[in-house]
Amino acid sequence: QVRLLELGGGQVQVGGSLTLRCAVSDITYKTGCVAWFRQAPGKEREEVATIDTIGTTSYAESVTGRFTISRDNAENSFALQMSSLRPEDTAVYYCAARGFVTFGPTCRPGETSYSYWGQGTQVTVSS
């Protein structure tokens, strides 16, 4: 059973930075598109950023220029670097991955059918 293990998260002040990491438990499992989502209290889950196997990225408008998604194919992990954090970035953040064999290498913006999800990690930005 493949699992996504999230690390990072926590509380930070406005304008601060945090990095979230997601490791695929089976290093031999080949992932295609990987992504970060977030869900704030009372709001729907939203896609934050995606990255495909060749490094093509996409970002939600609200985080463009502040967040950076990256992946390490050799270690089968990916990360979300967050800077200039705002109170509205407060949410539970989830990593997600799609299997390469089933879904191929590319990402489709807005797609929510991912093979595996992380357990979620709380990010709280306080003023």
DSSP line for 6-71: EE--EEEETT--EEEEEEESSTTPPEEEEEEEEE-TTS--EEEEEE-TT--EEE-TTTTTTEEEEE
Residue 111 confidence class, pLDDT cut points 50, 70, 90: confident
Residue 41 confidence (pLDDT): 92
Indicate the SS3 state at residue 2: coil
The mean pLDDT of 8-23, rounded to a whole number, is: 97
**pLDDT for 97 beyond 90:** yes
End-to-end CA distance of the chain: 40
Cα–Cα distance measured from residue 98 to residue 100, given in angstroms and rounded to the nearest whole number: 6
**pLDDT for 109 beyond 80:** no
The mean pLDDT of 92-111, rounded to a whole number, is: 92
- The 10s digit of each residue's pLDDT in 54-95 is 999 999 999 999 999 999 988 999 999 999 999 999 999 999
**pLDDT for 9 beyond 90:** yes
- The 10s digit of each residue's pLDDT in 47-59 is 999 999 999 999 9
**pLDDT for 113 beyond 90:** no
